[in-house]
Amino acid sequence: MSSFPTSASQDPEYAWELATLYPAQGDWSEADYLDLTDGTNRGIEFTDGRVEFLPMPTDLHEALVHFLYRVLYAYLEPHQLGTVYTSGIRIRIRHNKLRMPDVAFLHKRNYHLRHNRVWDGADLAMDVVSDAPQDRQRDYETKLADYAEAGIAEYWIVDFGQRRVIVYRLDGGAYVVHGEFLPGSFATSALLDGFQVDVSALFAAADEAPK
């Protein structure tokens, strides 16, 4: 018989039995995952039967994400090129693998990939790196491979700790570095002609966030 942790009287009391209502790690289906994440705004990703909880966004993280969104939206809107969202859209990499980029863009020519609950792809993804080693590994290694597998044409990594923006472009099924951009320069896109981000202004927006 399963047993559950006991708590001292001064500690919070949790309904540990609730966990038994959900599949064990490794046994989640894509439908289970979608039903769970339909009911929460917590960042949760899914790979081969396992749910992966993302770090809760900080003020600094959101300052960077919203700066990127505003600049990208301002570029896209006059040209009516497509749709851009921040933090929350679920993108299917393949069956049983879904990711949630911080910023995702889908060109209108690819709207057949756009569905209410999940996109079946994207044209551009951006992620802001969090501090924890496992989160850095997720953005720099795991998602780099995942987004390439999904055929996402361009991937931006924004690293506040190292004050750099790396832009990758898809080349023959794998990413190559389009450019590495530091403060004082403009990060450019290989996909979107003329789109650029002032790196100094980007990180200045985060410098204003409370520490």
Q: Check residue 210 and give its pLDDT.
A: 83
Q: How far apart are CA 21 and CA 41, in angstroms?
A: 20
Domain ranges of the chain: 16-53, 59-207
Each residue's pLDDT tens digit, 90-138: 999 999 999 999 999 999 999 999 999 999 999 999 999 988 888 899 9
Strands 154-159, 124-128: pairing is parallel
pTM over 0.85: yes
59-207: what fold?
Answer: tt1808, chain A (3.90.1570)
Q: Give pLDDT tens digits for 38-78.
A: 988 889 999 999 999 998 889 999 999 999 999 999 999 99
Question: Distance of alpha carbon 74 from its chain centroid, rounded?
Answer: 20
Q: How many Cα atoms occupy the beta-carbon half-sphere of 206 within 13 Å? A: 23
3-state helix, strand, coil in the chain (%, to 5): 30, 30, 40
Strand 118-119 relative to strand 90-94, pairing:
parallel
